[in-house]
Amino acid sequence: MIESNTTWIIGGVSRCGKSTRARRIAQQSNLMCVDMDERVVQAWGRQGNIAACFQDLGAQDFRRLERQVYLEYAVPSRAVIALGGGALLDAEIARITQTWGVCGWLYVPFHVMHARWCISPPLQLPHDQWRVAYAARTRACMAWTPRCWAPQLQEMWAQMLQLSQVC
């Protein structure tokens, strides 16, 4: 169990498990869970998910809305917050989220992310740009905080075996 009088912020590349981990940690520690992608979708004001929001707005307007949501967000004092997969590419979002609490990012190796992205690709990102996007987002996470959390090896191998049958 983690310290429950703190706000924890989880960053990482798209589809690395930030929201899943945030929900699990929040439940185990009796903390509120906040998914920033859900906040962006709420601000968009239509029915759908983050992918539909991105597709409807286009990359530039989506990133503008995302920035606005992050900069205006009133951070709770006891929560686990999952950031959006591309949010830390924005220097202003990276700076402001560092003030929210204890920051850490989930590290998942590229080969695991590639298998996941075969099933559910990152927002409008062509397959030939996945490695470049992964590298840029990983660098943004490393610049944001040195605190890195890696999944347990057993869990990662189980996912790889499961996903290798799809790709």
pLDDT digits 0-9 by tens, 90-137: 999 999 999 999 999 999 999 889 988 988 888 778 889 999 999 999
pTM of the model: 0.87
Query: By the 8 A CB rule, do 140 and 13 touch?
Result: no
13: in domain: yes
Q: What is the CATH number of the domain that holds 124?
A: 3.40.50.300
Which structural domain range is residue 53 located in? Answer: 7-164
Token pair listed for 125? 């990102």
Any idea what the Cα angle at residue 73 is, between residues 64 and 46, rounded to 5°?
55
86: in domain: yes
